[in-house]
């Protein structure tokens, strides 16, 4: 009989742990979702470029099958990644 009580207590404790882990997992998923939503919200920036620079970026974007905006965003993201590494 004592073994049954011990097993029940262990099961209850394990269930409590499982419930806590599920709550933590749900919180993590919620945080990840919020971060992804923030990433999706893009900011607009007015950017003035010299015509020659614009033409070079346009050619480069075409080579990489990107829009000019996509190319500029790619280049800025790459610059930020490189800066973080050094």
Domain count, the chain: 2
Between 59 and 38, the higher pLDDT residue = 59
Same domain, 52 and 71: yes
Do both 57 and 30 map to the same domain?
no
Which residues constitute the domain of residue 85?
43-86
Read off the pLDDT of residues 44-59 as tens digits, 9 standing for 90 and up.
889 999 999 999 999 9
With vertex at residue 68, the alpha carbon angle to CA 78 and CA 55, rounded to the nearest 5 degrees, is: 105
> Euclidean distance between the first and final Cα of the chain, in Å?
65
Q: How confident is the model at residue 7 (pLDDT cuts 50, 70, 90)?
A: confident
Whether the model clears a pTM of 0.95, i.e. scores above it, the answer is: no
Do 50 and 34 have their domain in common? no
* pLDDT at residue 38 is higher than 70: yes
């Amino acid at each position: 009989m004592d073994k049954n009580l011990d097993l029940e207590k262990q099961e209850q404790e394990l269930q409590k742990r499982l419930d806590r882990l599920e709550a933590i997992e749900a919180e993590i998923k919620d945080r990840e979702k919020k971060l992804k939503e923030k990433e999706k919200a893009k900011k607009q920036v007015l950017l003035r470029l010299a015509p020659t620079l614009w033409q070079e970026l346009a050619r480069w974007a075409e080579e990489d099958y990107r829009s000019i905006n996509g190319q500029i965003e790619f280049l800025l993201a790459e610059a930020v990644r490189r800066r973080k590494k050094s």
